[in-house]
Amino acid sequence: MDHVKDIDQQDFGREVLQRSGEVPVVVDFWAEWCGPCKVLGPTLEKVAQDLGGAFELVKIDVDANQELAAQFGIKSIPSVIAFKNGKPAAQFMGALPETQVRQWVEDLLPTEEDRQVDRARDLVLEGDELAAEAVLRDIVSRVPDHPEAVTALASLLIARGDTDEALILLGRLPRTAEVERLEAAARVTAAQEIDLSDIERRLAADPGDQKARLELGQALAARGEYEPALDRLLEVVRSGGDRREPARQAMVDVFGVLGPDHPLTVSYRRALANALF
């Protein structure tokens, strides 16, 4: 049957995790002896056929794939998990009626705005960032808290230095790792306007000028010179005073840009903790 597959653990990475980057994949965990599974299964298959490839249905026999079932915490069947972009996006248990199953599936499918975001991303890849921005601004004007449109637009704005607007847009969204990463990138990028030669003159005149040392660290980070930036910022944190907290935040922002596993993040996060405590 089109759009419906029986798979095992060996196929899961390809047929579910990878494939869900292209189209939602609904996984039906079932067993031959399960009465409700025999009710839900045909319902899911009918919805899959009716929607003609808008999503894919994958069926996994829990008796034959016990490790996989345990990995996803399947304790009762039927259990259904939808995957998008390689991650679980929604789930339910039990034999729901067709109307509820159909609504649950339709809520997973891309909206017109989602498709426009994909178009904007294609435009960026083609080098037409102005057209991409126009598409994203149109989406945001209609759906101000559309997560993917807002983060995509914020990324474009940060790249060209419009950090204030990017932060305003990001402030509309719930706190997620991606939102926090972009906010950190915006704050780091904002320091590109700092005049390094002016800072150097101020430090030459007064080596104890912690405000100038803070700005030097921020400016270096904005130019991608992360290690010397973190060194300067750490000096300010260690010195105490009213520049300590801005320097701490600037270091945390650099960690956000680099990511938690970057060697500089690991090393300087430990040094920051020692300086604070």
> Mind telling me the catalytic residues?
34, 37
Phi and psi angles of residue 26, each rounded to the nearest 5 degrees, phi first: -100, 125
Q: Would you call 125 helix, strand, or coil by DSSP?
A: helix
For residues 49 and 127, give the distance between their C-alpha atoms in angstroms, rounded to a whole number. 38
By the 10 Å C-beta count (0-12 exposed, 13-18 middle, 19+ buried), 4 is classed as middle
229 contacts 220 by C-beta, under 8 angstroms: yes
Q: Which two tokens stand for residue 232?
A: 């300067």
Sheet holding 56-61, edge to edge: 4-6, 56-61, 25-30, 79-84, 87-93
For residues 60 and 9, give the distance between their C-alpha atoms in angstroms, rounded to a whole number. 8
CA dihedral sign of residues 240, 246, 251, 252: positive
Of the candidates 87, 94, 114, 112, the one whose C-alpha atom is nearest the C-alpha of residue 44 is 94
Residue with tokens 């915490």: 73
Q: Which two tokens stand for residue 178?
A: 């991606």
Q: Which two tokens stand for residue 146?
A: 């559309």
Neighbours of 246 (CB within 10 A): 18
16 DSSP 8-state letter:
I
For residues 103 and 110, give the distance between their C-alpha atoms in angstroms, rounded to a whole number. 13
